[in-house]
Amino acid sequence: METFFQQIINGLVLGSMYALVALGYTMVYGIINLINFAHGEVLMVGALTSWTVVSLLADTGMPGWLMMLISLLVAIVVCATLNFAIEKLAYKRLRTAPRLAPLITAMGMSLLLQTLAMIIWKPNPKPYPLLLPTEPINLGGPVISVTQCLILGLTAVILATLMWLVNRTKLGRAMRATAENPRVATLMGVRPDMVISATFIIGAALAAVAGVMWAANYGTVQHSMGFLPGLKAFTAAVLGGIGNLAGAVVGGILLGLVEAIGAGYLGELTGGVLGSHYADIFAFVALILVLTLRPQGLLGERVADRA
Amino acid sequence: MKNKMVMFLLAAIALIALPLFAQQFGQGWVRIMALALLYVLLALGLNIVVGYAGLLDLGYVAFYAVGAYMYALLASPHLSENFAWIASMFPNGLHAPVWIIVPLAALLAATAGVLLGTPVLKLRGDYLAIVTLGFGEIIRVFLNNLEQPVNITNGPRGLDRIDGMHLFGLDFGKALMIGDFRIPSVTMYYYLFLFLVVFSVIICHRLETSRIGRAWMAIREDEIAAKAMGINTRNMKLLAFGMGASFGGISGAMFAAFQGFVSPESFSLMESVMIVAMIVLGGLGHIPGVILGAVMLSALPEVLRYVAGPLQQLTGGRLDASILRQLLIALAMIGIMLSRPRGLWPSPEHGKAAPAPLPKPAG
């Protein structure tokens, strides 16, 4: 039973990071119908930027949490700028192009960011320093680290802010209107370029936060670290119903839980035939199952035939 | 017409004579050419799926892997060494003939393609891209881990001691002597791949102008309209998917025979992206374009090898040949999509050849 609760905690932590990335996918998809393949790479850039900032600040002797906060802010700014530039340079011109063109461009962009990161930061994996107290908090059996606490808390705050932003502000209303019908939104005085840029910036900021969390939680950063989280976060977005914000959160947390519990019990259940290294394929199996049984996702509307 | 025939003959003679000429400079050159032909084969297969039917398949390398492992398992001592019952059935080791393995590899890959395609093909194309990408990863995870509790794929170490090709009494693993003239093993593989490529080009060309090919292109251009014209879009898409996959399976089997060794490393996502990049770069749905793209991108690393040395010193080891190649591929993918979305050598557009405007009457 103790393992079970421990895996639930791990799953929630993993799931909140997926949720943050999935929100970026789902917002972009909701507005311009593009799977932004490069989104996982934005997470990677956030993590590596934060690593650089932390390494630079390491000798100043400031407390760990302050270093982390500064690096987080720098990462958010860098990622937001990057994603803004990507949209303007690569995706904007392809808005009316046939569907394959932006998708292939996004794939190329993902490859480009990975390669550039490999050139800038060198390909070897780098240890991310422990900035927060490492003493785990005992919850009567299962334990939770300070970093994990922080991840859960921060995710909750961010989600609440995002919900407020989307549902209560003028920008949020413009975003929802553009997602629903870009042409009519334009007629109502919404500037689509502005809304799309805002969406990319917000998505990048969320991915940057997730990237720093990922680095702090797993303690290593590398140019290829963005691929799997990105792919799984997209799965989470589809799982919850792409284009739906609440769905992305639900899908992310669900996927995190399934993965953590699956990895913990798979070996026992199958009598050692399938070990925990198969954890990575849960996401894809879940994706195929969802697409077969409920293509619109758990909370989603029908998007299959939207032309 | 006569000119065309002459051109064809000249090209054929050049392609046949090329390796005999190149092997004077070392077999490495023939090897590069043979691998380029293998990539052409893969690109032609993926072109059916992406180019004709407009379905973005990002896990194409999975079918390649299925074919390669199929060949490797059925034509190497691995299975009979690890399973007593197979060893007792085939005391000399399992060396299945090519005529069984290759069709089996094609069939298995096609089945995998159809099974994978069935749940997702009725959805939007974007989903297909992600699911196929995930499928590619699943296959790789399995190849890497299926050594416990029973050793099937030998994990990351891969399978070796794979038999070479045997066709019509010819052993492709050994050099062939015709009188005093020696044709090394690599050159024989070159001819085999050349034959397969020519055969595939004919198949693709016939497909393109057939009812099936036109149905695929109709689906690519406008699925709803295609449906309204009475095309069974689901079956047609599945057919494209299965057919592309079987090309991948056959190429995989050829790869295993050619290399004599397979490991999961050869079937990474990067490889899938490479093949997509080849057909996008060359010209989606246009056979000469696809061939051009495949040859260009597969020869690129060899060319880069000569530039990479000085460049590596100049940048303090940050840029080596493989990174440079990746960088160029990424830039090419983005640049081509933005500036020449239809590729370097696109197919002529149908139905847009409006009659030239009449010259204005003078005065």
More confident residue, A67 or A305: A67
CB of B70 closer than 8 Å to CB of B108? yes
Query: Residue A111 and residue B330: Cβ atoms within 8 Å?
Result: yes
C-alpha pair distances (Å), A219 with each of A51, A63, A222, B106? 10, 18, 11, 44
Tell me the C-alpha distance between B137 and B114, whole Å: 18
Query: Residue A108 and residue B330: Cβ atoms within 8 Å?
Result: yes
Q: Is A221 helix (H, G, I), strand (E, B) or coil?
A: strand
C-alpha pair distances (Å), A157 with each of A164, A202, B193? 11, 15, 59
Average pLDDT over residues A213-241: 88
Find, in chain B, the residue whose alpha carbon is nearest to that of A292: B119
Q: pTM to 2 decimals?
A: 0.84
DSSP classification of residue A110: H
Find, in chain B, the residue whose alpha carbon is nearest to that of A281: B138
- Backbone dihedral angles phi then psi of residue B180, each to the nearest 5 degrees: -95, -5
Distance from CA of A242 to the nearest CA of B (A): 11
pLDDT at B352: 47
C-alpha pair distances (Å), A4 with each of A151, A267, B139? 20, 14, 29
Is the model's pLDDT at A123 over the cut of 70? Answer: yes
* Burial of A192 from C-beta contacts in 10 A (0-12 / 13-18 / 19+): middle
- Band the pLDDT of A83: cuts 50, 70, 90: very high
CB-based contact (8 Å) between B316 and chain A? no
Q: Tens of pLDDT along A244-258?
A: 888 899 999 999 998
Query: Residue A234 and residue B130: Cβ atoms within 8 Å?
Result: yes
CB-based contact (8 Å) between A231 and chain B? yes
C-alpha pair distances (Å), A181 with each of A39, A103, A176, A203, A295? 24, 21, 9, 20, 22
Mutate to test the interface with A, among B337, B338, B339, B349 (most CBs of A within 10 A): B337
DSSP string covering B27-66: HHHHHHHHHHHHHHHHHHHHIIIIIIS----S-HHHHHHH
CB-based contact (8 Å) between A122 and chain B? yes
Tell me the C-alpha distance between A56 and A129, whole Å: 12
* Residues composing chain B: 363
Tell me the C-alpha distance between B135 and B268, whole Å: 12
C-alpha pair distances (Å), B178 with each of B20, B24, B182, B184, B201? 13, 17, 6, 11, 29
User: Chain B contacts of A92, Cβ < 8 Å?
Assistant: none
- Band the pLDDT of A303: cuts 50, 70, 90: very low
CB of A108 closer than 8 Å to CB of B333? yes
User: Chain B contacts of A270, Cβ < 8 Å?
Assistant: none
pLDDT at B338: 86
Q: Two tokens at B41?
A: 């084969």
pLDDT at B316: 67
The Cβ-side half-sphere exposure at A82, using a 13 Å CA radius, reads 27
Contacts of A305 (CB under 8 A, 6+ apart): B124
Q: Two tokens at A249?
A: 């959160």
Find, in chain B, the residue whose alpha carbon is nearest to that of A302: B123
DSSP string covering B100-146: HHHHHHHHHHHHHHHHHHHHHTTS-HHHHHHHHHHHHHHHHHHHHHT
Is the model's pLDDT at A307 over the cut of 60? Answer: no
- Nearest to B176, CA basis, from A112, B186, B305: B186
Query: Residue A284 and residue B149: Cβ atoms within 8 Å?
Result: no
CB-based contact (8 Å) between B280 and chain A? yes
Per-run averaged pLDDT (10 residues), chain B, 363 residues:
78 79 75 89 92 86 91 79 70 74 90 85 74 84 78 77 74 68 78 90 90 90 87 89 92 88 85 86 85 86 71 70 81 84 74 52 54
Mutate to test the interface with B, among A277, A284, A294, A296 (most CBs of B within 10 A): A284
Q: Is B91 helix (H, G, I), strand (E, B) or coil?
A: coil
Tell me the C-alpha distance between A213 and A219, whole Å: 10
pLDDT at A142: 80
More confident residue, A140 or B36: B36
Q: Which of residues 95-114 of A touch B (CB under 8 A)?
A: 97-105, 107-109, 111-112, 114
CB-based contact (8 Å) between B358 and chain A? no
DSSP string covering B179-205: TTEEE-HHHHHHHHHHHHHHHHHHHHH
CB of A233 closer than 8 Å to CB of A22? yes
Please give the interface size between A and B, counted as residue pairs whose CB atoms are below 8 Å apart: 131
pLDDT-above-70 percentage for chain A: 93
pLDDT at B55: 85
Beta-bridged to residue B176, according to DSSP, are B183
Find, in chain B, the residue whose alpha carbon is nearest to that of A36: B126
Query: Residue B131 and residue A288: Cβ atoms within 8 Å?
Result: yes
ipTM above threshold 0.90: no
Tell me the C-alpha distance between A295 and A141, whole Å: 40
Distance from CA of A18 to the nearest CA of B (A): 16
Tell me the C-alpha distance between A291 and B288, whole Å: 36
pLDDT at A212: 92
